[in-house]
Each structure stands twice: as structure tokens, then as C-alpha cells.
Chains A and B, each alone.
Chain A
Amino acid sequence: MSKINEFTKGFLKENPVLVLLIGMCPALATTTSALNGIGMGLATTFVLTCSNIVISLLSGVIPDKVRIPAFIVVIASFVTIVDLIMQAFVPTLYNTLGIFIPLIVVNCIVLARAEAFASKNGVFASFLDGAGMGLGFTTSLGVLGIIRELLGNGAIFGHKIIQGDGILVFILAPGAFIVLGYIIAIVNKIKKTQEA
């Protein structure tokens, strides 16, 4: 697999949310608006990229039997760093995303990439993998957020474009599942046509 593939596979071929179906909890919970979804995606991308780099650097000195605790320590440290930095420099985003940030620690995408990729590949490949997977995650969350905000609130990025209250269900949890289902169906269709 060439280097560029490590980066692009996260967008469609191995998109964590839409194809691998991991990291569902933040994908469904934070995408009530486009901005929240993208903010959560970017925070995860940062953690994923940094933890991938550090874990691939450390992989030689971590004995196999304690690799999971070691990965979690690295991941949790980066999550706390993101949490503090957001609180200090982007307080408005922190106000809406604050409660979801600690959840990145248990986001299985981060641990899955550490275990399945970063611990067995070089630093540069791990960086590309983290960035690609993270941005693929961000894109899916952004698309989910845009659709849900548009249908549920009649707005895009907080700008009201349709008057009225919108369809309430799309802001609530069931709406997240409905939108996600349709997006997955479309992605599957695209993949099938590509393969054919």
C-alpha cells in the first residue's frame, strides 16, 4: 500500500464511521449541529494523529503484555491536553463540546488505530493514517451534523435559512440513527459502483 493510500483510505474505503462503524457514540451524540460535529471531529483528529505518532515511536519499548495500558496513558494525556487548550483558547467551542472531550479517551477509533496500525508501522505512515482516519471521521461527523441541523433546526452552521421549528426528531437520538443509516446506504452504493 503506497503512502498516499494510508491517508486517503480514511475518507471512503475504510471510513471509521461509515464503513468500519466504530466510534458511533460521539458520531451520534455530538452531531446535533454542523459546528459541534466538526469541532468534535477535529479534536479527535488531533488526539488520533498525536497518539499514533507517539505510539509508533514507542512501540519498540512497550512490552506486549502492557501495551494496552501504555496506549491508554498516551491517549488520555493527549485528550487532557486538548481539553485544557480548548478551555483556554476556544471557550465558546468548549462550552458546547466540553462534556464530550473526555469521551475521546474511550473512542474506539483511537485505540483501534493504535493497536492495529501505529504499533506496527513507521512514524510517517502512522501520522498519515491518523490524520486520514481523523479527517475521514471529521467529514462524516460534519455531513451528519449539516443534515441534522438543516432538517431539525432549519439552519446551516447556526444561520437560519428555513423559517419555523424544523423537524424535531432529527435533533434527537433517533434522527441521528436515521440520517446515519441513509448516509451509510449511499456510501455503500458509491463503493459498489466503484468496484464494478
Chain B
Amino acid sequence: MHILNPNDSERRLNMAKIESTLKNMVLSLTLITIGASAALGFVYEITKKPIEVTSMKNKLEAIKAVVPSFDNTPGSEMFILPTDDGDSLEIYPAKVGDEIVAYAVKAGTQKGFSGFIGIMVGFKPDGTIINTSVLEHKETPGLGSKITDPGFREQFNGKNPENFSLKVKKDGGQVDAITAATISSRAFCDAIERAYNTLKKGGLI
């Protein structure tokens, strides 16, 4: 076992090493950090573009998944609406011709089991939920991560929060929570509710 090998320290003594003088220490650490910074800067430059493209692509795909077909570019017609609690949400209108067929709302909540959950929700102009898509989450894999499963998300499709209580059944609502992931289920409902309330407050539905 190398960690515990008593010969290791002897081997180190036999090897030619530069002395631990202040000048040597400062010099070698400086050179190493400069080298490391250069390498990081280089990698950052070459990955910057792909990272932006991926995050843009994910957003567009999420919009496409939650609204019916459209012929405009929701990405460039995005606008921002304030929420009740001082935050603001991005709204992407989907149009056919000049008529608005749906709004895709990028909403999120901090109430997840492990922090932030970001979702995209599509609403018809009358407030009915069309579909949902999870953009980002850090929920427990295998438990809370099931908020991304269609089996859980589809129960919201076609429901109007006007007459559909966005609470899990345990809290007196109408949503079937994921087994052993009530907090994640609650958070998902909370994110949809924030999106709905924001649209409503903005007078769009």
C-alpha cells in the first residue's frame, strides 16, 4: 500500500529536489499558477461558444415542447413580467400569423428539495396548461428527479389552474405527488403556480 509505505519518505530524500527557500517557493508557485491560468483561459475560450449554444438550444427545445406549433420566433419576442415577490419571469409568446396561440413561461422555484428547480410551462391564452418541461434541477436522483418523468408531468396537461388546485393531495389539492418525493412535487406545483399567477397579474390570461 503506497500511502503507508515507510520507504516512500526515504525515496524522497534520495531524489534531487530544489530547496525550500522563500525565493524558490514563491517562484515555483507563481509559475505553476500562471501555467494553470493560461490553460484555464484557453479551455474557457474554446468551450464558451458550445456552452452558450447548448443552453440556447435547450431553451428553444423546451419552448417547442410546451406550446403547439407556431410560425414566429418566440426567442426574439421574449418579454419580462414581474412576479408577486419582486422577481421577474421570461415570457415567450408563440404566434400563428398575428394571433397568439400560447405563452411559454420560464419559471422557477427555490422550494425544491435541493434548491432551485427551473421549468418551462406552456399556457393557452385562456390559462389552460398545455405542457411542462424541466430545464434544470438538483433533486435526488431516482426520487425527486422523477419530476422530469412524463408520468408525473402529464397530469397537469389540459388543466386550468382556475379550477384545478395546484397542490398535492396531502395538502388538500388535486396533484398526485411522486412517492417519497412530496417536497419536489410541491416545488414543481409552486413553480407552475408562480408562472400562472404572473401571467394573470400581467393581464395576459
- B138 on interface, CB distance cutoff 8 Å: yes
- A171 on interface, CB distance cutoff 8 Å: yes
Return the chain B residue nearest A71 by Cβ: B32
Return the chain A residue nearest B33 by Cβ: A73
| A-B CB contacts (within 8 Å), total count | 103
Complex CA distance for A36 and B142, rounded to whole angstroms: 11
Return the chain B residue nearest A76 by Cβ: B36
Complex CA distance for A165 and B142, rounded to whole angstroms: 10
Q: Which residues of A contact B99 (CB under 8 A)?
A: none
B46 to A: closest C-beta gap in Å: 8
- CB-based contact A63/B32 at 8 Å: no
Contact string against A for B residues 1-42, beta-carbon threshold 8 Å, 1 for contact and 0 otherwise: 111010010011001111111001100110111001001100
Complex CA distance for A60 and B19, rounded to whole angstroms: 10
Q: Which residues of B contact A190 (CB under 8 A)?
A: none
A178 to B: closest C-beta gap in Å: 15
Q: Which residues of A contact B32 (CB under 8 A)?
A: 58, 62, 70, 73-74
- CB-based contact B8/A81 at 8 Å: no
* Chain A residues bordering chain B, tally (CB within 8 A): 43
Complex CA distance for A112 and B2, rounded to whole angstroms: 9
Q: Interface of chain A, helix or strand or loop or mixed?
A: helix
- CB-based contact A152/B142 at 8 Å: yes
Stretch in A41-49, A89-97, A134-142, A180-188 touching the partner: A89-97
Return the chain B residue nearest A19 by Cβ: B1
- CB-based contact B20/A77 at 8 Å: no
* Chain B residues bordering chain A, tally (CB within 8 A): 40
Contact string against A for B residues 131-148, beta-carbon threshold 8 Å, 1 for contact and 0 otherwise: 000001010111101000
Complex CA distance for A95 and B51, rounded to whole angstroms: 13
- A99 on interface, CB distance cutoff 8 Å: yes
- B179 on interface, CB distance cutoff 8 Å: yes
- A192 on interface, CB distance cutoff 8 Å: no
- CB-based contact B50/A65 at 8 Å: no
- CB-based contact B20/A63 at 8 Å: yes
Complex CA distance for A74 and B117, rounded to whole angstroms: 33
- B79 on interface, CB distance cutoff 8 Å: no
Q: Which residues of A contact B8 (CB under 8 A)?
A: 116, 120
Q: Which residues of A contact B164 (CB under 8 A)?
A: none
- CB-based contact B29/A87 at 8 Å: no
- CB-based contact A77/B1 at 8 Å: no
Q: Which residues of B contact A63 (CB under 8 A)?
A: 17-21, 24-25, 28
Q: Closest 4 interchain pairs by CB?
A: A88-B50, A88-B47, A65-B20, A171-B142
Q: List 6 A-B contacts (CB under 8 A).
A: A77-B36, A87-B51, A88-B47, A152-B142, A165-B179, A171-B141
* Given A20-B1, A60-B16, A70-B28, 14 other A-B residues pairs in contact with their CB atoms under 8 A: A20-B3, A36-B141, A60-B15, A63-B19, A63-B24, A74-B32, A80-B43, A84-B44, A88-B50, A120-B11, A120-B12, A168-B180, A171-B141, A172-B140
Interface residues of B (CB under 8 A from A): 1-3, 5, 8, 11-12, 15-21, 24-25, 28-29, 31-33, 36, 39-40, 43-44, 47, 50-51, 54, 58, 136, 138, 140-143, 145, 179-180
